[in-house]
């Protein structure tokens, strides 16, 4: 969303290409991204390995440090280095996916998470879980019917 697309650096201050600050003032959420099929190629289902990766990712609670001028508020999210490690554990190079990116700030590269990717993997895992639950309900009904006869 636009508020997640706001960046900050000491040289320029807030960098806000998508008017996220205005959206925050107006209590509006806009999405940043292009979902149109005509803008994409190599469209495929998300491989099952990413469901396994999702299960290994551990959301954390944290406070921002002084580098990002933290305000002592607790936040929730993933740690980019943890995501990189999990990808590596599955033989995947994180640089080949848009899940983790780097942001150069004053000559230092920091990692960033594209949380929309995490949300897509969550949707995939949820869909798989619902399908599995449906199959188990059918199997249970079949067992109950067999026991009743």
Q: How far apart are CA 80 and CA 85, in angstroms?
A: 9
Are 59 and 76 contacting, i.e. CB atoms less than 8 angstroms apart? yes
Could you read off the pLDDT of 2-13 as tens digits, one per residue? 545 666 677 777
Burial class (CB in 10 A: 0-12, 13-18, 19+), 83: buried
Query: Does pLDDT of 70 surpass 60?
Result: yes
Are 78 and 59 contacting, i.e. CB atoms less than 8 angstroms apart? yes
Per-residue pLDDT, 8: 67
Nearest C-alpha neighbor of 4 from the set 19, 13, 12: 19
* 44-48, 72-76, 86-90: the lowest-pLDDT one: 72-76
Are 90 and 84 contacting, i.e. CB atoms less than 8 angstroms apart? no
Give 54-58's long-range contacts (Cβ < 8 A, gap of 24+). 54/118, 54/121, 54/122, 54/124, 54/125, 55/125, 56/86, 56/89, 57/82, 57/83, 57/86, 57/118, 58/82
CA dihedral 42, 43, 45, 47 (to 10 degrees): 30
First to last CA, the chain: 56
Could you read off the pLDDT of 116-128 as tens digits, one per residue? 899 999 999 999 9
Per-residue pLDDT, 100: 94
Residues 6+ apart with CB under 8 A from 149: none
Query: 71: pLDDT confidence band, cut at 50, 70 and 90?
Result: confident
């Amino acid at each position: 969303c636009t508020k997640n697309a706001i960046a900050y650096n000491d040289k320029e201050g807030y960098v806000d290409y998508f008017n996220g600050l205005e959206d925050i003032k107006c209590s509006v959420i806009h999405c940043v991204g292009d979902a149109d099929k005509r803008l994409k190629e190599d469209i495929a289902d998300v491989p099952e390995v990413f469901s396994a990766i999702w299960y290994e990712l551990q959301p954390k609670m944290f406070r921002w440090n002084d580098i990002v001028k933290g305000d002592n508020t607790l936040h929730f999210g993933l740690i980019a280095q943890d995501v990189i490690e999990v990808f590596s554990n599955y033989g995947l190079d994180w640089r080949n996916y848009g899940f983790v990116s780097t942001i150069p700030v004053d000559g230092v590269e920091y990692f960033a998470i594209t949380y929309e990717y995490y949300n897509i993997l969550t949707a995939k895992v949820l869909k798989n879980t619902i399908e599995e639950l449906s199959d188990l309900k059918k199997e249970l009904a079949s067992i109950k019917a067999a026991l009743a006869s």
